[in-house]
Structure 1
Amino acid sequence: MDTNHSTITVEAKVQAPVEKVWEYWTEPEHITKWNNASEDWHTPHAENDLRAGGKFVTRMEAKDGSFGFDFGGIYDEVLIHEFISYKMEDGRKVEITFIPQDNATKVVEVFDPETTNPIEMQQEGWQAILDNFKKYVEQQ
């Protein structure tokens, strides 16, 4: 990661083995079920070409149809069950590490902040999505 500016880190310990956590993180049929920060948002569509140079896109929308956007990027590195890095369309970098811990997996996301919204708001939003992921995986 670029150390010339601050990055934001969010993390969660998911009570599931790394193989399941990886599958639910990367498979579009699962992504559409957990990728939202609050109950009034959803992800109706996801595509994921999980390889270095591969692209991904998720469509995030308010359930009332008032707002929506595509979130996407291109993968720089993919180490199965261990690590993913990608660049968002605006050039910001994201790194996700999957750390097995007994029968659980610690997921750590580090990302470059954007300049529009406060750091705290960005951290809370990404943490809310990660918490929703944890909840989804643990309920399956």
Structure 2
Amino acid sequence: MKIITETKIPAPIDVVWHAFNDPNDILQWDSCGEWHTITASNDLKVGGLLELRIESKVGKSGFDFAAIYTQVETNRLIEWRQMDDDRLIRVNFSENGTDTIVRQTFNADPTIPSNEERADWQGVLDNFGRYVAAKHNI
């Protein structure tokens, strides 16, 4: 089953692209519910790695996330394959007037209810949109 999440951000595409990919920015917006990212590194090129450490906000549990980039088209497309389960995630960036649309498409994780997974990913994407807007006083 495919899951799609999307948000519209009132910012130029280059600003959105940078905030989505800069490790310092990722630390500010990559969270949902009780989880947040505490370390991030990003080698944004085909064959490069995205590596995150995600931990609980209330406990000491956590996990490492790693993905390898399979496609990168600046200000347009990022695609990566998750290292732990081989799922492919595609993130499209498009301009709509003065706004930028960010759309993520991926296969559902069979071990998580799809409505729950979609809500988690949408929550992170919504956090991202709010972060970009606040950072740039939009």
TM-score range, shorter chain: over 0.9
Map of 1:40-59 to 2, 5 A cutoff? 40-59=34-53
Question: Which amino acid in 1 is paired with 2:126?
Answer: D
4+ long deviations beyond 3 Å:
none
Alpha carbon RMSD of aligned pairs, Å?
A: 0.9
2:105 to 107, 110, 132: 110
Question: Which amino acid in 2 is paired with 1:105?
Answer: T
Q: Which residue of 2 aligns with 1:79?
A: 73
Map of 1:1-140 to 2, 5 A cutoff? 6-38=1-33, 40-89=34-83, 90-140=85-135
Q: Which blocks of at least 5 consecutive residues in structure 1 are unaligned?
A: 1-5
CA deviations 1:94-140 (Å, max 9, x no partner) are 00000111111000000111111100000000000000000000001
The whole-number CA distance in structure 1 between the counterparts of 2:59 and 2:38 is: 11
CA deviations 1:53-99 (Å, max 9, x no partner) are 00111111112233211122100000000000110011100000001
Give identity over the alignment, percent.
Answer: 35
The whole-number CA distance in structure 1 between the counterparts of 2:47 and 2:58 is: 34
